[in-house]
Structure 1
Amino acid sequence: MAELATDYARLLGPDHPDTLRARHDHACNLGEAGEYVEAARLFAEVAADQARVLGADHSGTLQSRHNHAWSLGQAGEHAEAARLFAEVAADQARVLGADHSDTLQSRQSHAWSLGQAGEHAEAAGLMAEVAADRARVLGADHPDTLRARHSHACNLGQAGGHVEAARLFAEAAADRARVLGADHPDTLQSRNNHAYYLGKW
């Protein structure tokens, strides 16, 4: 993909949308290969160029900014990832709407990154809001809703709310068993976390 991006730049010019897309895809491939630091660097560069050429509110620009934050988080830069997710989520809400799937994903990634950075109380509050919005937009049984509920309970427990976390994990486990199946890995994860926090009482 790097060679393709180079060829596009040579034939069409560095600012052509196809060149920018090829650069974005190259960074995606690096991220999927686990090269998160390099992917983050490339996403930051292509996002800046997309903003200059296509506009700050273009969907491609917003996507590259989201992926930049994601790659930083995967590389362990959780606090910076959280900051960038908050910024892109705000812009996505303004451009795409508060209920757009990209906006909801960036909000969930923001909360998740805060939790990874150790800000569990704030992450729990934000994840509860995301879970409620996921349920309203996608439905209570959607896997993304269930995932947000599980993450809310995780951060609540890590913030010291062991009793409430155990209750939420029990509810999430029951709903995941009903929707995904009793043996689904997500169901087992919620059941395991429920048992863990029961032992904290």
Structure 2
Amino acid sequence: MAMGNLAGTHSDLGDFEKAKELDITVLEKRTTLLGRDHPDTLRAMANLAATHSKLGDFEKAKELEVMVLEKQTKLLGEDHPETIKATAHLAVTYYNLEEFTKAGEFEVVVLEKRRHLLGDQHPDTILAMQNLTLTHRALNKLQEAEELEQLMEDIDRLV
């Protein structure tokens, strides 16, 4: 656990190479000690994926995030908060890879689940709306983007 915290500290300091080195070690140790499907192992894999994203290695991040999502879905189910978070992270990675159609597919899932589970006014739901709006713009789906922007404005008025 201490090594994982140290990796996070290096990441916070902007030393992503050192964070990656530590993240890899943490993932290897957790896989050996806890197994591939243990929640702590999956968390370590997600942390390594995030570090790869910070380094701009979105292909490697995608590879890891796909594995995390598959395992989270199998172990926890589609509606578990960790599974939804994994879906959201993968959507952002697809966006960063400029695979906007794929990003949009995942963002729609995230938004639907967050609206259903958390409600429209929850910050995570609003973030999902914002992300999908950006993707709609990137895909030149301006009508869909405008509809989401209007929904966010209506929600903002209610708060």
- Scaled by the length of structure 2, the TM-score of the pair is 0.82
3-state SS of 1:199 partner: helix
Q: Which residue of 120, 126, 147 corresponds with 2:85? A: 147
- Contact (CA 8 Å) 1:83, 1:110: kept in 2 or not? no
Q: Are residue 194 (structure 1) and residue 128 (structure 2) matched? A: no
Counterpart position of 2:118: 180
Within 2, Cα distance between the matches of 1:170 and 1:149? 10
Counterpart position of 2:64: 126
Within 1, Cα distance between the matches of 2:118 and 2:69? 18
How far is 1:198 from its partner? 0.9
Within 1, Cα distance between the matches of 2:137 and 2:105? 13
Task: Give the unaligned 5+ runs of structure 2.
Answer: 140-159
Q: Are residue 73 (structure 1) and residue 8 (structure 2) matched? A: no
Counterpart position of 1:44: none
Amino acid at match of 1:142: H
Task: Give the unaligned 5+ runs of structure 1.
Answer: 1-62
User: For the aligned residues, what is the CA RMSD?
Assistant: 1.2
Kindly report which structure 2 residues correspond to 1:25-36, keeping only aligned pairs within 5 A, or say none.
none
Amino acid at match of 1:161: E
3-state SS of 2:94 partner: helix
How far is 1:82 from its partner? 2.1
Q: Which residue of 45, 50, 64 corresponds with 1:112? A: 50
Counterpart position of 1:10: none
How far is 1:83 from its partner? 2.6
Asked which structure has the greater CA Rg, the reply is: 1
- Contact (CA 8 Å) 1:176, 1:187: kept in 2 or not? yes
Amino acid at match of 2:87: R
Amino acid at match of 2:33: V
Cα-to-partner distance string for 1:148-198 (whole Å, 9 max, x where unaligned): 110101011101101111121111111111122222111111111111011
Q: Which residue of 6, 25, 38 corresponds with 1:87? A: 25
Amino acid at match of 1:84: L
How far is 1:92 from its partner? 0.5
Greater RCO structure (CA 8 Å; 6+ sep): 2
Q: Are residue 171 (structure 1) and residue 109 (structure 2) matched? A: yes
- Runs of at least 4 residues of structure 1 off by over 4 A? none
Counterpart position of 1:99: 37
How far is 1:125 from its partner? 2.1
Identical counterparts, % of pairs: 25
